[in-house]
Amino acid sequence: MESLYKAFEKDFYIGASVTPELIQTQGDFIAKQFKSITAENQMKFEALQPKRGQFEFEVADQMVDFARTHGMKMRGHTLVWHQQTPKWVFTKANGACVGREELLETMKTHITQVMTHFKQAVYCWDVLNEAICDGPGYLRPSQWLKGIGEDYIDKAFCYAREADEKALLFYNDYNAVTPEKRDKIYQMVKGLIERGVPIDGIGIQGHWNINWPSYEQVKVAIEQYASLGLKLQITELDLSLYDGEEGDLGFKVPPEERLEKQAQCYERFFKLFKAYKEVITGVTFWGVADDYTWLDYFPVRYRKNWPFVFDQQYQAKLAYEKLINLSKN
């Protein structure tokens, strides 16, 4: 099977999120098909600093070693997020909320220690993840926002630049192509740029499905974000076989018709990504192959999903064939 990343080498880095288990069992496949990896969970706050001041880098270091050994790029995910962040960050032992100064100090220490540790190994960091509201409202009322105030965002990016002046600093979010949220993300990032806060790019997560979003929505979002003069990456691509509204339909195997639709979607979106290759520097799948995906547990627990271009046996799906053909045009 031809290498997917080599097929798109002239366009952007093709990446995948991986786990230590996947590296162990599918390392050769991953190294052959992808140019970049992201740790699915192992570089999140709770993994790297479960207790105050107690940094645990061992597992993530092994992932970095794998990337280095195979000449792959490593994306860092993620420094500041409202999820997978330990309780101690926001709450004191007596249950009281941590105050602004202490929370800022915690954020600074975490960013500084982590980015310093992974300097040169990680070329690009999701400094801030999912800080914008989906519905009404602007900034997500996270404990970071409540504890520090709106400037927590500026601070996060400034601390990041101080810690590693070379790493690319990204803002990363889902639903980033839906018009309402897109405009809010655009405004937030525009504000950062106007205030001189260091930011290099926007990550469009890309947790999509075979009916959503439309080609047009993705195109408009790419253009709007690109107008800020930043780089873009698709950071967490998976195309669910289920529409947002559907529950568990009990499929034992993926229905042909849905796989065809999925393949068409992959083809259309990659065509678009290629058309914007000057601004899109990476396209990372949120997983490797259909044997394992977080979508088997989310948003419906134990509903099997098949969101990738490689099947459960690590064989090419129709989507893969279409992408390889497209890469040759």
Alpha helices, DSSP H only, in 49-151?
58-69, 100-117, 143-148
Residue of 5, 11, 31, 40 interacting with ligand XIL (CB under 6 A): 40
Three-state secondary-structure class, residue 58: helix
311 binds ligand XIL (CB under 6 A): no
Q: Which of 22, 44, 41 is nearest to 31 (CA)?
A: 22
308 or 327, CB closer to ligand XIL?
A: 308
Least distance to ligand XIL from the beta carbon of 38, Å?
9
Written as six digits, the tokens of 54 are: 């107690």
Q: Name the CA dihedral angle for 64, 68, 69, 72, rounded to a multiple of 10 degrees.
A: 110
CB of 81 to ligand XIL, least distance (A): 7
Query: Contacts with ligand XIL: how many residues (CB under 6 A)?
Result: 7
Contacts of 128 (CB under 8 A, 6+ apart): 78, 79, 80, 81, 153, 156, 157, 171, 172
* Contacts of 206 by beta carbon, 8 Å cutoff, 6+ apart: 234, 235, 236, 237, 238, 286
Q: How far is the CB of 206 from ligand XIL (least distance, A)?
A: 10
Residue number of the CB closest to ligand XIL reads: 294
Q: Interface mask (CB under 6 A) for ligand XIL, residues 203-242, using x and -? A: --x------------------------------x------
Residue from 294, 312, 314, 326 touching ligand XIL (CB under 6 A): that is: 294
269 phi/psi in degrees, rounded to 5:
-65, -40
Q: Is 41 in the site for ligand XIL (CB under 6 A)?
A: yes
Residue in this structure with the two tokens 């790029």, named with its chain if needed = 73
Active site residue 236: yes
Element (H or E) spanning 216, and its range? helix 215-226
* Comparison of 125 and 174: residue with beta carbon closer to ligand XIL: 174
Give me 290's structure tokens.
Answer: 């259909």
Return the number of the residue (11 or 236) whose C-beta is nearest ligand XIL.
236
Residue 14 or 295 with smaller CB distance to ligand XIL: 295
Catalytic residue chosen out of the listed positions 236, 245, 257, 278: 236
Would you give the binding string for ligand XIL spanning residues 154-183, x where CB under 6 A is met?
Answer: --------------------x---------
C-alpha gyration radius of the chain: 19
**DSSP 8-class letter at 121:** T
Q: How far is the CB of 95 from ligand XIL (least distance, A)?
A: 26
Per-residue binding string, ligand XIL, 78-117, x by CB under 6 A, is ----------------------------------------
In angstroms, give the least distance from the CB of 157 to ligand XIL: 17
Question: Looking at 58, 101, 130, 321, which residue is catalytic?
Answer: 130
Which of left, alpha, beta for 175 (phi over 0: left; psi -120 to 50: alpha)?
Answer: left
In terms of CB distance, is 159 or 174 closer to ligand XIL? 174
Tokens of 249: 């339909």
* Dihedral Cα 46, 47, 48, 50, nearest 10 deg: 50
Smallest separation (angstroms) from ligand XIL to the CB of 174: 6
Please say whether the beta carbons of 240 and 295 come within 8 A: yes
Q: Binding residues for ligand XIL, per CB under 6 A?
A: 40-41, 129, 174, 205, 236, 294
Residues identified as active-site:
130, 236
